[in-house]
Amino acid sequence: MRGLDADIAVVGAGIAGASAALGLARAGWRVALVDAREPEPWSPRQAPDLRVYALAQASAELFTQLGVWPELLRRGLHPYRRMRVWDAAGGGELGFDAADIARPELGWIAPQAPVQDALWEALAREPRVQRHCPERIEELESGADEVRLELGSGRRLRVRLLVAADGALSPTRERLGIASATHDYGQRAVVAYVGHAEAHADTCWQRFLPGGPLAFLPCADGRSSIVWTLPQAEAERVQALDDEAFLRDLERAFDVRLGALTSVSPRASFPLVRRIAERFVQGRIALLGDAARNVHPLAGQGLNLGLADVRVLLDALGEAMPARDPGAPAPLARYARSRRSDSSIAALAFEQINRLFSNDHPLPLLLRGPALGLVDRLVPLRRFFAAHAAGWR
């Protein structure tokens, strides 16, 4: 269509949105990337980002396809090769490692800032990407053939498809009137980096406690990133503790698996809410990443689900390339069916696991530990869980 400013506009330059913009441009589409602020430049000398992800093998394959994986590895991503899961109530323990699926690693631990910075640098070199940052959408109109945007600066954009990747509280989703099925878990996740007397052995550790799971994720500097899920009042209590008291509480909660805890970074916490958009596509607008869904951090799959959105969208829009219409109904319908189904299954599965393990009712207490031990003894099941941890279905 004559007069279009770009083929696709992507709103939101977080990891999922930036990956989508880069992948779409590399596929041959002209992309306008809009975000309210430009990401801060990253330096290896700055304090580590408390926002940490467990990147699955499938996500690494996407970053390889986008050409940024070698740069991410240079920026300090750390492989995890083993996982250990056990229940505070006792009983069995589940352990699996990369050897179960004949891989050198299950995945990688990645702070957000270096990943975001590598993507931003790649976008700056991509001639098919126009970056509009800082900018906000002031007006949005979706027609039969195009989407028209007016930005805060007064600039107008006409595109064939708008991809909304503007976060869990997506202004675009709200503007479109797309409702979300929402559930407040009444929990908060406390995050920090901790030092410990014993080496983390490239292992992700997770202990199920009555108030919620506690995860230790191995980092490149020898410390672990923790995600401690707690009922809201308890999260507020531990956040108010001084460092020494916090470490002693955390040490007990973790069953002293890595010896004495020796240091803790500044801490943060955030509320846990499950949110799934009722529609992932409306007209020529598609939701992606956290704008489409939030899930419980139990399995560390939030970002991996968002990057799976990117993979499916790139594949679906390949069908639209001959006609040069990325907003055509058929590929968008395919994207919506696939991603909303997968998101709903994942969100409800994580929620049921959280409910099963985050309580002290007698029957679950009797069953949980033996169930973990049974899975650990059954090699096919252990391989299944190892493959799932790597992001393969």
CATH code, 246: 3.30.9.10
Per-residue pLDDT, 300: 62
Q: Are residues 136 and 259 in the same domain?
A: no
Q: Are residues 291 and 143 in the same domain?
A: yes
Report if residue 254 sits inside a domain.
yes
Please state, for a pLDDT cut of 90, what percent of the chain lies above it: 68
Q: Are residues 90 and 216 in the same domain?
A: yes
CATH number at residue 32: 3.50.50.60
Q: Are residues 290 and 371 in the same domain?
A: no
Per-residue pLDDT, 30: 97
The 10s digit of each residue's pLDDT in 144-191 is 999 999 999 999 999 999 999 999 999 999 999 999 989 898 999 999
Contacts with 223 (C-beta within 8 Å, 6 or more apart), sequence order: 193, 194, 195, 196, 200, 263
Q: Are residues 229 and 334 in the same domain?
A: no
Per-residue pLDDT, 190: 97
Q: Are residues 291 and 341 in the same domain?
A: yes
Report if residue 2 sits inside a domain.
no
Helix (H) or strand (E) holding 129: strand 129-132
- pLDDT < 50: residue spans in the chain: 1, 359, 361-384, 392-393
Report if residue 1 sits inside a domain.
no
Per-residue pLDDT, 392: 46
d(CA 216, CA 135): 37
Per-residue pLDDT, 367: 41
Report if residue 85 sits inside a domain.
yes
**Partners of residue 147 on adjacent β-strands:** 142, 159
The upper half-sphere exposure of residue 175, i.e. CA atoms within 13 Å in the direction of its Cβ, equals 17
3-class SS of residue 20? helix
Report if residue 122 sits inside a domain.
yes
Q: Are residues 52 and 151 in the same domain?
A: yes
Q: Are residues 51 and 130 in the same domain?
A: yes
b/e per residue 123-155 (b: at least 16 CB within 10 A): beebebbbbbeebbbeebebeeebbebebeeee
Q: Are residues 102 and 119 in the same domain?
A: no
**What range defines the domain where residue 93 resides?**
78-111+184-272+357-389
Q: Are residues 204 and 255 in the same domain?
A: yes
Per-residue pLDDT, 45: 87
Per-residue pLDDT, 139: 96
* Contact between residue 95 and residue 83 where contact means Cβ atoms under 8 Å apart: yes
Per-residue pLDDT, 375: 41
The Cα angle at residue 327 between residues 158 and 27, in degrees rounded to 5? 90
Q: Are residues 95 and 209 in the same domain?
A: yes
Number of domains forming the structure of the chain? 2
d(CA 294, CA 291): 8
Q: Are residues 94 and 150 in the same domain?
A: no
The 10s digit of each residue's pLDDT in 294-305 is 887 765 667 999
Residue 4: CB atoms within 10 Å: 16
Report if residue 3 sits inside a domain.
no
Per-residue pLDDT, 350: 54
Per-residue pLDDT, 362: 41
